[in-house]
Structure 1
Amino acid sequence: MKQNKKPILPKTVNDRLFKSRIIIINGQITQELVGEVVGQLLALASESDHPITLFIHSQGGHVDSGHAIYDAIRFIDARVRVVGIGWVASAGAFIYVSVPAEDRYCLPNTRFLLHQPLGGVKGSGSDIAIEAEEIVRIRKRLNTIFSKATGQSIEKIQKDTQRNFWLTAEKAQKYGLAGSIVENISEID
């Protein structure tokens, strides 16, 4: 069976994006992606405090990897503008809200997915109980962050994320998740 490999962009495209202060998160949020994205954020922030534009198209992934990118965006002095494209789900949505609402953009056909953290564990009853407590702790933290980012109550976030909670671009904007729906890059200041 042939495996799909991640397309490799010509070096000139990556160089051009970097020089334009553009970072792209495409695909699963992994520990490997953290190194790439955080490295790019730190490098660009060390060059100047001009805005960085981060495009997100992601089905989500590892929650702690999402936390790392979220924290790195908030750590640097350079302004980061986030643009949701395609779908912005789970850990991708968490990264998306790392910036103020006025810096959160999405394209018209973007879909968002919020849900509670997922996990699975094998082991002794004690180990399973510890992991369950950790998932509850992470869920409370995510609910608090999404509540602050959207203006929704923690209770509403908790209720909405009991199951998969899908939002169109328009619904995401009304919910307070997306700041602006844009159709052209010139609309991003």
Structure 2
Amino acid sequence: MPIGTPSVPYRLPGSQYERWVDIYTRLGVERILFLGSEVNDAIANSLVAQMLYLDSEDNSKPIYLYINSPGGSVTAGLAIYDTIQYVKSEVVTICVGLAASMGAFLLGAGTKGKRLALPHSRIMIHQPLGGTSQRQ
């Protein structure tokens, strides 16, 4: 049996009927977002769009960003970082599992006093990599 994204029942406000939606959509309604993979442009664009939408809907409520990421693209990560700093909503960052490299950087981007790590999670940050490659 394949394992996919779980679906959960959800009743739209004002509706008497439930419909099945994927769990990430349902949690997004509660302002809960996940970074659960390597940081790349597609993931960054999705998270940026979700944060901007949630902030425009109600910037008095916090956005919760759960992070379980080995890191990834610096430019994509900086797009997420800049958006966290830009939105008026508080952004609570929570490490579940691993926040390494860019994942750790984003964990630290949350609102001061709202950066958390669960008891068995791991955080790893390293010196920036840079320079040029000398292939011969």
Per the normalisation by structure 2, the TM-score is 0.79
Q: Does 1:20 align with 2:30?
A: yes
The whole-number CA distance in structure 2 between the counterparts of 1:119 and 1:28 is 19
Within a 5 Å distance, the mapping from 1:30-109 to structure 2 comes to 30-49=40-59, 50-109=61-120
Query: What displacement does 1:100 show?
Result: 3.5
Amino acid at match of 2:85: R
The whole-number CA distance in structure 2 between the counterparts of 1:25 and 1:12 is 16
Query: What displacement does 1:119 show?
Result: 4.9
Amino acid at match of 2:97: G
Query: What displacement does 1:116 show?
Result: 1.6
Between structures 1 and 2, the one with greater strand share:
2
Per the normalisation by structure 1, the TM-score is 0.58
Identity %: 34
Structure 2 residue runs without a partner (length 5+): 8-20
Query: What displacement does 1:123 show?
Result: 7.1
Deviations 1:42-82 (CA, angstroms, capped at 9, x unpaired) = 01001001111000000000111111101100100011101
Which residue of the partner structure matches residue 143 of structure 1?
Answer: none
Query: What displacement does 1:35 show?
Result: 0.6
Does the 8 A contact of 2:91 with 2:111 survive in 1?
A: no
Deviations 1:106-149 (CA, angstroms, capped at 9, x unpaired) = 1100101010223575579xxxxxxxxxxxxxxxxxxxxxxxxx
Structure 1 residue runs without a partner (length 5+): 1-5, 125-189
Runs of 4+ in 1 over 4 A off after TM superposition: 119-124
* Superposition RMSD in Å: 2.4
Query: Structure 1 residues 53 and 26, CA, compared in 2 at 3 Å: closer, same or farther?
Result: same
The whole-number CA distance in structure 2 between the counterparts of 1:94 and 1:67 is 9
Between structures 1 and 2, the one with greater helix share:
1
Query: Structure 1 residues 85 and 62, CA, compared in 2 at 3 Å: closer, same or farther?
Result: same
Amino acid at match of 2:39: I
Amino acid at match of 2:23: V
The whole-number CA distance in structure 2 between the counterparts of 1:7 and 1:26 is 14
The whole-number CA distance in structure 1 between the counterparts of 2:73 and 2:41 is 7
Which residue of the partner structure matches residue 110 of structure 1?
Answer: 121
